[in-house]
Chains A and B, each alone.
Chain A
Amino acid sequence: MGDFAAWLAGTSLSNTIAENLWVIPFVQSVHIVALAVAFVSLLLIVLRIWGWAGQDISLTATTDRFAPWLWGAFAVLALTGIVMVIGEPARELISFSFWAKMVLIAIGVAAVFSFQRHLARHKATWEGTLVAQSSTKVLAGLTLLVWIGIIFMGRLIAWDAQIWGSLSPQSIP
């Protein structure tokens, strides 16, 4: 990974991003706007599963409303994230927080994806369900926790060695 980060840091695209000082803060700002949209889209689906919101519409209607925004925002997050990695390869790729975040993203995406597939297969059942089973509620809560963890790890990339100590590849032994 060190070799890859070093190679990436040497590319002209990486240098262009690094030389134009506004690019990283701009892309980070877009990243924050998109994470807000993604997080609240997921939150509202979870709240509907818990029966805490959207009681006037079905779970299917709630998911139809917010899942496209969740995935649309996710695409923006991936794109802006890639720009950040290209612009600052060492900061991102050589950090514990970044890779912990990637693992959590894999889990979080798989969870939402399989939930949507389940929902599509049992559309009729869910259409008439006002309150979900408690096992579904727990799974929804865990999924939300994973996505909160993604935000945690994303912000902590800025203080990797400070927070994680020897776990961080940036820490000086």
Chain B
Amino acid sequence: MDLYAIAQAIENSAVGITVRDSLYLLPIINVFHVIAIALVFGTISVVDLRLLGVPSNSRSLKAISHDLLKWTWLGFGLAVVTGSLMVAANATTFYSNNEFRLKLVALAAAGVNMVIFELLTARNAHLWDKDVPVPFAGKLAGALSLIFWISVIFLGRWIGYTKGFNFDVPVDVDFDALF
């Protein structure tokens, strides 16, 4: 079974049909997707900037990560669920959409960057937890993470303008008839 056939099957599943045919589900799912993005990117950017020494190195990296990472994962989980529902509703369109494919690549890159940081760079993180500049590898991980996640956001927004059925086209309004 090739990927396109899988996409067709998802699109024709009960979940896909329900989301696609509902007036309210896609808008509501989109709202929660944006809130999820805010949680994921907002919290990750605080950690990334801290790695880069912004605004300073004076607060413990461990304390910052401890405060933030649970919200990052909560947001990421919500983003995956809402994102999957959006894909399910129009799976074949997403499958053939270049921006969607690039977004998956950017997400994978962000994931690989995170794993490398956690497994290699952060092994001796206790040495630069507070008041010490983060070593180059850590700063690089922070900068790359910012670039990858901002790319994810841009590509995600671009899907809405390239996927063929554009929900974002402004409604034609007859000014004279309205007021």
Contact = CB atoms under 8 A, between A and B. Distances in A.
Interface string A148-163: 1001101110111111
Contacts of A21: 161
Contacts of A161: 171
Interface string B27-68: 100110011011111110110000000010001100100011
B45 A36 contact: yes
B47 to A, nearest CB: 11
B178 A169 contact: yes
Q: What bracket does the count of chain A residues touching chain B fall in?
A: 35 or more
B42 A43 contact: yes
The dominant DSSP class at the A interface is helix
Contacts, number: 112
Contact of A5 (B31, B158, B175): B175
Contact of A160 (B24, B59, B150, B171): B171
Interface in A115-173: 148, 151-152, 154-156, 158-163, 169-170
17 contacts: A2-B179, A3-B175, A26-B154, A29-B158, A32-B153, A33-B150, A36-B40, A37-B42, A39-B39, A40-B42, A44-B68, A54-B63, A56-B60, A57-B59, A162-B27, A163-B24, A170-B173
